[in-house]
Amino acid sequence: MDITRYFDHAATTPLRPEVLAAMAPFWADTFGNPSSLHGFGLRAKEALEQARAVIARAIGARPHELIFTGSGTEANNLAVLGGARRMRRLGKGDHVVISAVEHPSVREAAKALEAEGFRVTQVPVDAYGRVDPEDVRCALTPKTVLVSVMHANNVVGTIQPIAEIAAVVRPTPALFHCDAAQSFGKIPVDVNALGVDLLTLNAHKLGGPKGVAALYVRKGVRLDPLFHGGKQERAMRPATQNVPGIVGFAKAVELALAEQEAERRRLAALRQRLIARLADAIPGFHVNGHPTECLPTHLNIRIDRIEGQALMLELDRLGFATSSGSACSAADHEPSYVLLAMGQSREAALESLRITLGRTTTEESVDALADALIAVARAWRQAANVPFGGD
């Protein structure tokens, strides 16, 4: 398979060779439990803490503010469930605010809180998928204990005004959580500039391994743990740490940050090239998401009268990997709740296709994808007896 034809980097990214090499010694040679006090354990502990320092520094945090988890989903659950439960237990309130386009791991965690008696408010988004900070302000009550708004949307790539939302939340007692799994490594992510209390990071979205993620927990913030056991990760995530994965995470972060600005410019140009090719050749072509406040990696498109999942399957037959929605809900042939929240009809939402670029994407592969999409759209329209451009 031609890896340059992989256009589903939002779902996961190829493991970088440098990351695999960095992890290798910790599978066999430096295998100790980092909680052990003998030499084997201490060497593992040293590697763990070095990796923690690298990742923390990358987001402007201190090492002790970083909690390692087994996935972005776990980190989001720890933030939302752990934050809200602790705040209620301290008598702070029982109200949570999330945006209408959050990742399923935040939406479902909020539903779980509702079952526990919490009140949950979803703030709307505009036609581009963006939250208005004033809507967050209006949603806040004296009983609000947690607000969660993602940094960049996983379906359409729209970037949220997190610093402005933080300015609204900051005067209140509520904790502010931000899911940065999609944005970290692609655009600058600094916890102090963003003004967040909690921030989710994920290794496999930026060339690192699956099965390892992290939650930034600002100094002074405490969470009720999801699990109970030992004292690892400040007792907020008690479990033996995945040292090889964490070392790989840190290496992926180092590489991503060193290349970030150059890759941002390169991918933004490739994204625009693809849009131009498709817009010129396909009648009824639309781009979903914000025209400027968007990740350089994400392109969510819609072609009138062509179902996105059918288009995705035809492209797969031609050797191109794309997506008709979030990987976390790919098994459900339902319209994306993100697109519905943006005001699209059910029919329009089902016509969407997510194309996400990454380090392995080339100009040649973008042109090949454009050729394939144009050919497939033309064939589909002809089969339906619908005119295609100059036909």
Mean pLDDT confidence for 112-132: 98
Residue that has been written with the tokens 């493991």 in this structure: 15
Q: Is 183 left (phi over 0), alpha (psi -120 to 50) or beta?
A: alpha
Weakest-pLDDT range from 135-144, 249-258, 269-278, 379-388:
379-388
E-strand stretches of the chain: 66-69, 95-99, 119-123, 144-148, 175-179, 198-202, 213-217, 285-288, 298-303, 352-356
Q: Which domains does the chain have, with CATH numbers?
A: 3-11+259-377 (3.90.1150.10), 17-254 (3.40.640.10)
Task: Give catalytic status of residue 294 as yes or no.
Answer: no
Give the SS3 label for residue 91.
Answer: coil
- Over the Cα atoms of the chain, what is R_g? 22
Of residues 138, 178, 294, 328, which has the active-site annotation? 328
Nearest C-alpha neighbor of 80 from the set 91, 95, 90: 95
Weakest-pLDDT range from 48-52, 87-91, 227-231:
227-231
- Please check whether residue 287 is in contact with residue 300, taking contact to mean a CB–CB distance below 8 angstroms: yes
Alpha helix ranges (H) inside 13-126: 17-23, 25-28, 39-58, 72-77, 83-89, 104-115
8-state DSSP, 16:
P
Cα-to-chain-centroid distance, residue 202: 8
Q: Tens of pLDDT along 285-321?
A: 999 999 999 999 999 999 999 999 999 999 999 999 9
How does residue 140 score in pLDDT terms, banded at 50, 70 and 90? very high
Q: Tens of pLDDT along 233-282?
A: 999 999 999 999 999 999 999 999 999 999 999 999 999 999 999 999 99
d(CA 338, CA 328): 13
